[in-house]
């Protein structure tokens, strides 16, 4: 019975955990390890977790593991895709069908730069930006996971967006991106 319940939970949350871990660490292997570790911890604590708090628990553990991995690896600003092929396969699927090839290339480059700069954000702000603007999680969920008031979450998010906007201002000097 426990195994059946566990499998359901794994299938429901695996992508959320993997996404958060990947965008936080920007490393595929670390993201896989983190995802695996979260589920193993979940298996051992499944009987002690309240069902209503399961999602928050999972996100909290994911976030803590991401921070641990990040600190251990002492991340720097660098692209951590495995190879160029993988990089382009992920970003080329984004909706830019009507743009010119040139514009498309600039947009891909911009998005890559965004993911790089996200890595530069302070840990708390990084987590919130990923959870809200990439994963589209609700503010209440984020507040519960981060154990912060709702207004603090919004403040950190705004701060993160402003930092990204400031860091990427060079891209906006180019008229190609102004639509």
Partner 1 sequence: MTCQEFNNLMFDYTEGHLPSKQSKAIEAHLQQCHKCKIAFSQYKDIIQKLHQLPNLKCPDTVVEKVFNSIPITDTKIPLSTKIYQSISRRLSWKIRFAMGVAVVIFCILVFYPGQEKIEYDQQIFTTEEIEKAKKDAELALGYFHYYVAKTEQVIENQVITNSLIKPITTIKKALKPSLNGG
Which residues form the interface with partner 1 (CB under 8 A)? 1-3, 6-7, 10-11, 14-15, 17-19, 22-23, 32, 35-36, 39-40, 43, 47-51, 90-91, 93-95, 107, 110-111, 114-115, 129, 133-136, 154, 157-158, 161-162, 164-165, 168-169, 172, 177-178
Q: Are 123 and 67 in contact (CB under 8 A)?
A: yes
By beta-carbon proximity to partner 1, the closer residue of 39 and 67 is 39
> Helix or strand or coil: residue 138?
coil
The minimum distance between CB 71 and partner 1, in angstroms, equals 22
N-term to C-term CA, the chain:
55
In angstroms, the CA 114 to CA 133 distance is 12
Tokens of 59: 């996100």
Question: Which CB sits closer to partner 1, 50 or 74?
Answer: 50
CB of 92 to partner 1, least distance (A): 10
Task: At 20, list the tokens.
Answer: 């958060």
């Amino acid at each position: 019975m426990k195994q059946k319940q566990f499998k359901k939970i794994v299938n429901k949350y695996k992508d959320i955990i993997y996404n958060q871990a990947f965008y936080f660490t920007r490393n595929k292997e670390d993201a896989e390890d983190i995802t695996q570790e979260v589920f193993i911890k979940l298996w051992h604590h499944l009987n002690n977790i309240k069902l209503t708090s399961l999602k928050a628990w999972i996100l909290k553990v994911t976030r803590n593991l991401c921070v641990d991995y990040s600190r251990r690896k002492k991340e720097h600003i660098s692209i951590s895709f495995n190879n160029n092929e993988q990089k382009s396969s992920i970003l080329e699927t984004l909706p830019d069908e009507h743009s010119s090839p040139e514009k498309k290339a600039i947009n891909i480059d911009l998005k890559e730069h965004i993911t790089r700069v996200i890595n530069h954000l302070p840990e708390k702000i990084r987590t919130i930006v990923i959870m809200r603007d990439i994963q589209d999680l609700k503010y209440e969920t984020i507040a519960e996971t981060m154990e912060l008031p709702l207004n603090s979450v919004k403040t950190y998010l705004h701060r993160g967006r402003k930092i990204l906007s400031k860091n990427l201002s060079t891209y906006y000097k180019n008229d190609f991106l102004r639509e």
